């Protein structure tokens, strides 16, 4: 084995290791989240309809950040400007499941 082959093998192993760690982090964060795409979330400043769930490592454990169009709090309609926002799992003050939204309308 040459030095280049050694470095290549180490880099490939590091990549596999990091990919596996990301997979485990994502699985943990999603398993500990009750939010689904289509749900409406509110924090202290905005309300959004969840279109995307992202996993971040904020502290010692992975957590979710939810992204989607910003909604008016009065009627849950999106702003005409198309403004988007995000809500961290730790900052959720209100959570309305998508199934409950469909029943209400």
Cβ neighbors of 56 (< 8 A, separation 6 or more) are 62, 63, 64, 65
Question: What single DSSP character describes residue 85?
Answer: E
pLDDT in tens, 35-90: 999 999 999 999 999 999 999 887 789 999 999 999 998 888 999 999 999 999 98
Q: Of 31, 70, 30, 33, whose CA–CA distance to 50 is shortest?
A: 70
pTM attached to this predicted model? 0.81
Report the candidate in 30, 28, 73, 80 with the shortest Cα–Cα distance to residue 49.
Answer: 73
Helix and strand numbers (H, E) in the chain are 2, 6
Q: What are the domain boundaries of the chain?
A: 3-104
């Amino acid at each position: 084995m040459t030095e280049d082959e050694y470095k290549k093998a180490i880099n490939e192993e590091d990549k596999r290791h990091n990919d596996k760690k990301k997979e485990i982090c994502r699985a943990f964060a999603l398993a500990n989240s009750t939010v689904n795409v289509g749900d409406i979330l509110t924090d202290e400043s905005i309300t959004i309809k969840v279109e995307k769930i992202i996993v971040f490592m904020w502290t010692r454990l992975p957590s979710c950040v939810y992204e989607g169009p910003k909604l008016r709090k009065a009627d849950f309609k999106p702003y005409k400007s198309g403004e988007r926002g995000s809500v961290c799992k730790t900052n959720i003050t209100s959570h309305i499941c998508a199934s409950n939204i469909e029943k209400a309308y």
